[in-house]
């Protein structure tokens, strides 16, 4: 299975600031995704991180608010921009393995916005 390192693991941020979350995988993977889990809720897909091109965003999520980079096959970042308390959530990086259809998750970033 892929080993995913996500950081920071948690942060407390001020309203109006931005936070960049990093996701590093120990092996090459086909696809990388970013999910959000709001308090007490299920996971919602934010976007698919595409290597070398713009991410593919789901309905309700836009690039200006959640810019994503994926410079190579093993690394991606998600930025939460101009944060408000409504952005307080767990943000999870996930990857699809090269060999099979298993989707693995990082340990998540617990974000609190004051």
Partner 1 sequence: GEDVEQSLFLSVREGDSSVINCTYTDSSSTYLYWYKQEPGAGLQLLTYIFSNMDMKQDQRLTVLLNKKDKHLSLRIADTQTGDSAIYFCADGDTGRRALTFGSGTRLQVQP
Q: Is residue 42 close enough to count as binding partner 1 by CB under 8 A?
A: yes
CB 83 within 8 A of CB 16: yes
Q: Does 79 bind partner 1 (CB under 8 A)?
A: no
Q: How many binding residues for partner 1 (CB under 8 A)?
A: 23
CA dihedral 45, 89, 43, 69 (to 10 degrees): 30
Q: What one-character DSSP code corresponds to residue 64?
A: T
Answer for which of 7, 13, 31, 112 binds partner 1 (CB under 8 A) is: 31
Separation CA 11–CA 49 (nearest Å): 22
Which residue, 86 or 101, is less far from partner 1 as judged by CB? 101
Q: Does 112 bind partner 1 (CB under 8 A)?
A: no
Distance CA(15)–CA(100), nearest Å, equals 41
Q: Which residues bind partner 1 (CB under 8 A)?
A: 1, 6, 30-31, 33, 41-45, 48, 92, 94, 96, 101-108, 110
């Amino acid at each position: 299975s892929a080993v995913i390192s996500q950081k920071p693991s948690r942060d407390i941020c001020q309203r109006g600031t931005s936070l960049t979350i990093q996701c590093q995988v120990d092996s090459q993977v086909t696809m990388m995704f970013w999910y959000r889990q709001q308090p007490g809720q299920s996971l919602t897909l934010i976007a698919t991180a595409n290597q070398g091109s713009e991410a593919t965003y789901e309905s309700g999520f836009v690039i200006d608010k959640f810019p994503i980079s994926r410079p190579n096959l093993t690394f991606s970042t998600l930025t939460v921009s101009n944060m408000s308390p409504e952005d307080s959530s767990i943000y999870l990086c996930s990857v699809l393995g090269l060999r099979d259809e298993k989707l693995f998750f990082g340990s998540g970033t617990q974000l609190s916005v004051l």
